[in-house]
Structure 1
Amino acid sequence: MKKTIPAYQRIKNAILDNIHSGKWQAGNAISTEMALAEEFGVSRMTVNRALKELSEERVLERRQGSGTFVAQQQFNHTFVEVRNIAQDLKSANRDYEAKVVSKRAVTADMLDEELRRKFDIDKDHGVDNSSHAPVLYEVKIIHFADGQPIQFEERWVDAHKVPEFMAQDFSVVNTSEYLIAKSPLERGSYTIRAIAAPDEIARFLQIAPQSPTLVLRRQTYSAGQVLTFVKMWHAGDRYQFSGEL
């Protein structure tokens, strides 16, 4: 049974879609509460809740007597901190390079159970529309430090929220940096595990099969839904995670 989306959440999703598509950009005024109430056939109280939550999430900025505006996007860098391997390596004075292994659009019938669960996609998704319509975009990238592969990235992105994702050259544009610039991220979660390298991963990282790897699995959210899910495989003897408490 398909979940019913509350009215305030539908309004939030519509506002975020307008921001993702570029219709409303940073600093632009959005539709008034009255206009949104008429458009969605709801009370102004329902609209107010949607705008209040997006303001608390730093997506919108409400100015008394002036209206509601799209917030400047720099909040994304601090509200959800996402590590960027390109910046990390360059700041360590190491030569960085990225090689795109593959890019493709993924339809609902191509998804495994993990991706269906992550993105909350039903098995019958797309029956009413074209079964060939993409629901996710997938990209696989090898990241090099001083000519040696140090990370293999497998990433999936909601095709509806970031429609221009596939047009980017990710040998030049960093995926995390691009998504932060384009999408108002709300929150994220991650895990790190030690896993013996499968044959394919070992080949990309130029290590022996079953060698130790550190795998970071991360998902970030927008409008209460997963925007992107990524697996980052690191050669265990070439990479470590560190920080300060």
Structure 2
Amino acid sequence: MPSTKPRPSAPLYEQIRQLIVAALAAGEWRPGDALPSEAALAERFGASPGTVRRALDELTAEHLVERRQGSGTFVSTHAAPRQQFRFLRLVADDEAGSFSRELLGCRRVRAAAEVARALGLRTAEPVIEVRRLLHRRDRPVVLDELWLPERHFEGLTADVIQNHPGALYALFESRFGVHMVRAEEKLRAVAATPEAARLLQVPEGEPLLSVERLAYTYGDRPVELRRGLYHTLADHYRNELN
């Protein structure tokens, strides 16, 4: 269990936030679990309930926990309907429903240099490569390729993915204990290659939105590199700036 005494290197609420994150990373509370009450956390950390509340406010803003009126504070989970597509910002122009998924492949490969660099691995270290299509309105909209360090996802196969009814990130939580807490993205316009054009059912050279995402778990550890090609004829990328 992480230490219950905050380190005197930051404001007290930030020290408590760090200790709660350390407890989450250690698996003391799993995604979907209820946290102890503010009073219990205040006693544990030797702080006032108000200080604990501010730490929880910070964690809520980071989407690491969520407040539920009348129920308490819970560890955020990608299994919750509103969290399943938290990192996917492609929105239908006509507000059409969610995506269906088509798995194209899942295999163990050696990490290319750029994949290894992004994930903090050695070149040629084993990774799991997953390719899939996301459909909306019975048409392919997103071509996804993602790479995951095998050491964190040992046993991930096509059958495991096919037999999981929910989002991939919910599977990563429940089966492998890896919770994606934040992501960085790079966006650029590209032209469809012959393979992408075939899979997305568009003309070769069709403009596509390329989205490269690096997702992190607790402790700012990168655990997924994802590259997506988005066909935005009837969809748009939406972000909220605060």
Fold shared, TM-score > 0.5 on shorter chain: yes
CA deviations over 1:194-222 (Å, ceiling 9, x no partner): 01111111111011112110011111112
Equivalent positions of 1:133-144 (< 5 A) are 135-144=126-135
1:5-24 equivalences under 5 Å are none
Question: Which residue is 1:104 aligned to?
Answer: 107
Identity in percent: 14
- Structure 1 residues 63 and 81: alpha-carbon distance in aligned structure 2, compared to 1, 3 A threshold: same
Q: Is residue 2:208 matched to residue 1:230?
A: no
Paired with 2:239 and 2:168, the residues of 1 have a C-alpha distance of 22
1:187 aligns with 2:190: no
- Counterpart residue number, 2:204: 209
Q: Work out the CA distance in 2 between the residues paired with 1:136 and 1:51.
A: 35
Q: In 1, distance between residues paired with 2:120 and 2:98?
A: 39
Does the aligned pair in 1 maintain the 2:132–2:144 contact within 8 Å? yes
Cα distance change on mapping 1:160 and 1:195 into 2, 3 Å:
same
Q: Deviations over 1:38-58 (max 9, x none)?
A: xxxxxxx8xxxx997352477
Distance 2:180 2:98 in 1: 29
Is the CA contact 1:188–1:219 (under 8 Å) kept in the aligned structure 2? yes
For 2:224 and 2:124, how far apart are their aligned partners in 1?
21
| 1:150 aligns to 2:150 (yes or no) | no
Structure 1 unmatched runs, 5+: 1-30, 35-44, 126-134
Change in 2 beyond 3 A, CA 1:159/1:188: same
Letter of the 1:208 partner, please give it.
Answer: P
Give me the whole-angstrom Cα distance separating, in 1, the residues matched to 2:156 and 2:169.
11
- The separation in 1 between residues aligned to 2:21 and 2:77, in whole angstroms, is 12
Aligned length: 186
1:65 to partner: Cα distance: 5.6
- How far apart in 2 are the matches of 1:32 and 1:120? 25
Q: Is the 8 A contact 2:89 2:237 kept in 1?
A: no
- Contact 1:94 1:145 survives alignment (8 Å): yes
In structure 1, what is the equivalent of residue 69 of structure 2? Answer: none
For the pair 1:83 / 2:88, whether they are aligned, the reply is: yes
Task: Return the alpha-carbon distance in structure 2 between the equivalents of residues 183 and 155 of structure 1.
Answer: 15
Q: Does 1:221 align with 2:216?
A: yes
8 Å CA contact retained: 1:95, 1:147 = no
Q: TM-score, normalised by structure 2?
A: 0.60
Query: SS where residue 237 of structure 2 aligns?
Result: coil
CA distance in 2, matches of 1:205, 1:174: 21
SS of 1:55's equivalent?
Answer: helix
1:180 & 1:198 partners in 2: Cα distance? 34
Which residue in 2 is equivalent to 1:7? none
Would the alpha carbon gap of residues 208 and 124 (structure 1) be closer, same or farther in structure 2, given more than 3 Å must change? Answer: closer
For the aligned residue pairs, the C-alpha RMSD in angstroms reads: 3.9
1:215 and 1:231 in contact (8 A); partners too: yes
Deviates most, 223-232 or 212-221:
223-232
